[in-house]
Structure 1
């Protein structure tokens, strides 16, 4: 009789011991999340820790408990820290224990959501249905989970390219077409990258100036379109932003939608930061016009608090979206029955054939907390940003550098040596990060370096805002004494 293990399985020989070790690993991560405030937000990685991960390819097995201990001692303490309530540097969500458990379930199932008839795809379709409802899109709209808004923006650009030139662009390329696109000077750099990857080129992207609210200047946009038409180019795509990366500004989406309709241009909205503000009754009115977009990109791993990664692309014309990506292949043959039934498949709407079960953690998050509670959390982060702005305005040593539209606050310390202010504020930001209590980042506004605090984490509260103010004052005073 053959041993049932002759197939060289990678399953454990002792499931009981493995189960016990698994429970210890889960408990350690739950302890980590429960005790986040006792830890530094971030700390520098010691040189010996880095070199410890320069080993040659392992040839022999290592015990799981040993690897677990290495993770706890050498990896976990040196993460970027976005789960911590003091993390304010970049627009990263904090994640939740619920999302972590959902990721565990998805990993155990190990489903490939590229296609075929399986319930995990129905879970993704359920989330798509909710997204359509949230943004007021029709049932014919399509949607897809992707890594993040950078890829979602790229997909939207490709669909818009098909809308402008037809499906033959997939075979013939751009040929002599002179496509031109538009976005604001405050837009995320992935819009420029998308133009390059699509073969249109960043030189064909017009960066429209900003008004005093850091929004795209509508008059300048209209003039740029007119100039390009007069020069014989073909305007085809506008990327507006709901929540710019620097200051969280929201473009005038309704006005841009009016212009896009008049000019017969594709209106895309990069809502990576702010689109999920639609969950919040007090923020949704600021996003008026988003329901008129041809496509929207956003991230559930930011305000949605799902674990990384969970980006999403929503396209109004689902059939056009499908025609942009669907490719017949013998190994992707579709049937009316069996596992290969129930097309179209997710791989018909994007570049990935192999796709993880990202939808499960979002489904768990939305079902566990509900839209109302998530909306309250989002409102709370914006309220904290307003509180921070008030604290900055009330502190003579500090200066607010931009209006606070959503949850991003840009400020600086008024160092006496104003000529060296940019360098000193950059140093101040690094010292705050190294201090381990709060972690802002920096950006540059009109040539002035700003300390940037993005309030995204659901765990952040007023004590963390107060710590940012107090730590900024303390660190700056120490710098001036040195």
Structure 2
């Protein structure tokens, strides 16, 4: 039975649900009386979430009667608490039957009920009964190793629920009352008595201040400031990354990085030629003509595919991407080759250098502690821009500074010398999609690219020049979700030690798997079996030594239902990539499962 459309949840919570067509879970008809309130909207939302968690619990316990839940201990800076860990047999992928049922349940054009309002209750029942079983468990399983896809820490999920409930549009920063987090210095007591406070006589939202606080905390977590305060407790009070914002992901952050690089190098060249043309003001063609620029190239080593997309979006084109990797170690930047390309500046060829901090197939790094100072010197000499694509690799800077991670720290040392940095929060930080980070040393360049001209209604009130910048003037979007809040919650909840411990488990599991593959008679560890385990970050690349098995290896692994991997190619041959990125990792338990699955497949045994 179809119900009339409504925008008022109060009119939908008591609507009958057709169990014959939706297969409503039992929990849908048995709400928890302890959560009932006098507000129908609140009742509906509370019951919806309870039913969702019940349905997820049912979905993730389909592995069989031998499933046991392991409680993994998660250590905080000041206390301990337990996060529930999934058992080793919970399914990672939906069944074919679940996918078929979900697809058949989708509305069909031409059917009598197409676009008839079902009401909120029946719609929610449909989501849980028909669609939920057809979704993968990337956030629920510790062994979703396809792509670099993190899970969602419980505190991040709770924060994201708040984001949806309050639905802030974090776009314009209005001045806040003087005090901590306002971006303006506090006045002395005598001044406060004599002078009126600046700013409006009203308040709008703390969301922009929370976003800025989260970004400052990230900068400190990743040791990107390079200098500590007088007491040695943290970064200086004026971070060197004044252009800082959250984006939809590293792809959007790479777009900003190339846009800023294009703006900076072309405008500087035009200014040296005596012109006043800018890319933002006059367009790429006019600015290039004014400066005698015939090409803007992007130099990188095994750059992520999103760089080509970003280059297209900012008007440089896919062909602007030029690989300058070291022969035999293609993920590393060949600085001699970079210098040869930078020397073409005299010919009107300008350059943006993109450092891949975490190559997508191997997890290896383009530079090390010795390379970045030299690269910075070259960029300054030839007027180039340095952008770091650190989608997941940047977080190696948050690992403990212990002997086992010294090699990784050396590989990410010096990244603070870049002009701009892209990273993902929805990967290793384990906050919900979509969450990206962009940092820029040159706020004036970023605002030149992104500001909204001639829009008085979007302007924030004038105030301290060091105040928080309005997000719509330093990013792609004008309409923005409050995606900073889950990041803020994770940083506040876990702290340095908690995040370092979480990242350590990911790296140690990857190394345990790499050691197994390296020592196996059935598999080949890539890119080279001569590498040290200390070079392994969170990605393990390998292939089967048996060519026939290698052709179907990804399918065999995923068909086990106990883990999910993605396929790729290395040196023209198929390969398997395991990317460890979930907070749910348990090194001993998960390594045992991976070894069992890979061994069973190699010897032809059911796993």
1:363–1:195: structure 2 CA closer, same or farther, 3 Å change rule?
A: same
The answer for the alignment partner of 1:4 in structure 2 is none
Whether 1:141 aligns to 2:242 is yes
**TM-score, scaled relative to structure 2:** 0.71
Partner SS, residue 10 of structure 2: coil
Distance 2:7 2:144 in 1: 42
The answer for the alignment partner of 2:50 in structure 1 is 24
Gapped runs of 5+ residues in structure 2? 1-5, 12-39, 61-83, 175-204, 226-238, 268-276
Using the TM superposition, give the Cα deviation of residue 140 of structure 1 relative to its aligned residue in structure 2, in angstroms. Answer: 5.4
RMSD: 2.6
Of the structure 1 ranges 149-158 and 34-43, higher mean CA displacement relative to structure 2 is found in: 34-43
Whether 1:432 aligns to 2:557 is yes
- From 439, 444, 465, the equivalent of 2:591 is 465
Whether 1:249 aligns to 2:364 is yes
Whether 1:43 aligns to 2:94 is yes
Aligned length: 462
Using the TM superposition, give the Cα deviation of residue 19 of structure 1 relative to its aligned residue in structure 2, in angstroms. Answer: 4.9
The answer for the alignment partner of 1:10 in structure 2 is 8
- The runs of at least 4 consecutive aligned structure 1 residues that moved more than 6 Å come to none
Paired residues for 1:21-170 under 5 Å: 21-25=47-51, 27-28=53-54, 31=57, 34=84, 36-37=86-87, 38-45=89-96, 46-56=99-109, 58-83=114-139, 84-117=141-174, 118-133=205-220, 134-137=222-225, 138-139=239-240, 141-166=242-267, 168-170=278-280
Using the TM superposition, give the Cα deviation of residue 17 of structure 1 relative to its aligned residue in structure 2, in angstroms. Answer: 4.2
Using the TM superposition, give the Cα deviation of residue 252 of structure 1 relative to its aligned residue in structure 2, in angstroms. Answer: 1.2
- From 306, 310, 318, the equivalent of 1:194 is 310
User: In the TM superposition, what whole-angstrom CA distance separates every residue of 1:168-215 from its partner, at most 9, and x where no partner exists?
Assistant: 212432224323333434110111111111111122221113443431
The answer for the alignment partner of 2:414 in structure 1 is 289
Gapped runs of 5+ residues in structure 1? 1-7
- Checking the alignment, whether the CA contact within 8 Å between 1:145 and 1:312 is kept in structure 2 is yes
Distance 2:142 2:521 in 1: 26
Using the TM superposition, give the Cα deviation of residue 352 of structure 1 relative to its aligned residue in structure 2, in angstroms. Answer: 0.6
Paired residues for 1:393-412 under 5 Å: 393-402=518-527, 403=531, 404-412=535-543
Distance 1:273 1:161 in 2: 24
1:401–1:352: structure 2 CA closer, same or farther, 3 Å change rule?
A: same
Using the TM superposition, give the Cα deviation of residue 116 of structure 1 relative to its aligned residue in structure 2, in angstroms. Answer: 4.4
User: In the TM superposition, what whole-angstrom CA distance separates every residue of 1:406-431 from its partner, at most 9, and x where no partner exists?
Assistant: 1111111111xx4xx5xx42411112
- Checking the alignment, whether the CA contact within 8 Å between 1:30 and 1:97 is kept in structure 2 is no
**TM-score, scaled relative to structure 1:** 0.88
1:80–1:30: structure 2 CA closer, same or farther, 3 Å change rule?
A: closer
Using the TM superposition, give the Cα deviation of residue 139 of structure 1 relative to its aligned residue in structure 2, in angstroms. Answer: 4.5
Whether 1:268 aligns to 2:381 is no
- Checking the alignment, whether the CA contact within 8 Å between 1:43 and 1:78 is kept in structure 2 is yes
User: In the TM superposition, what whole-angstrom CA distance separates every residue of 1:329-357 from its partner, at most 9, and x where no partner exists?
Assistant: 3353435399xxx8741000122110000
- Checking the alignment, whether the CA contact within 8 Å between 1:44 and 1:434 is kept in structure 2 is no
Distance 1:114 1:39 in 2: 41
User: In the TM superposition, what whole-angstrom CA distance separates every residue of 1:203-254 from its partner, at most 9, and x where no partner exists?
Assistant: 222111344343122222223333x446x23223100011111111111152
1:54–1:435: structure 2 CA closer, same or farther, 3 Å change rule?
A: farther
Higher relative CO (Cα under 8 Å, sequence separation at least 6) belongs to 1
Distance 2:353 2:524 in 1: 34
1:44–1:126: structure 2 CA closer, same or farther, 3 Å change rule?
A: same
Whether 1:212 aligns to 2:328 is yes
- Checking the alignment, whether the CA contact within 8 Å between 2:510 and 2:536 is kept in structure 1 is no
- Checking the alignment, whether the CA contact within 8 Å between 1:240 and 1:267 is kept in structure 2 is yes
Using the TM superposition, give the Cα deviation of residue 328 of structure 1 relative to its aligned residue in structure 2, in angstroms. Answer: 2.0
Using the TM superposition, give the Cα deviation of residue 30 of structure 1 relative to its aligned residue in structure 2, in angstroms. Answer: 6.9
Distance 2:439 2:494 in 1: 23
Distance 2:258 2:501 in 1: 32
Q: Which has the larger radius of gyration?
A: 2
Distance 1:458 1:40 in 2: 18
Partner SS, residue 604 of structure 2: helix
- Checking the alignment, whether the CA contact within 8 Å between 2:301 and 2:356 is kept in structure 1 is no
Distance 1:73 1:287 in 2: 46
1:188–1:44: structure 2 CA closer, same or farther, 3 Å change rule?
A: farther
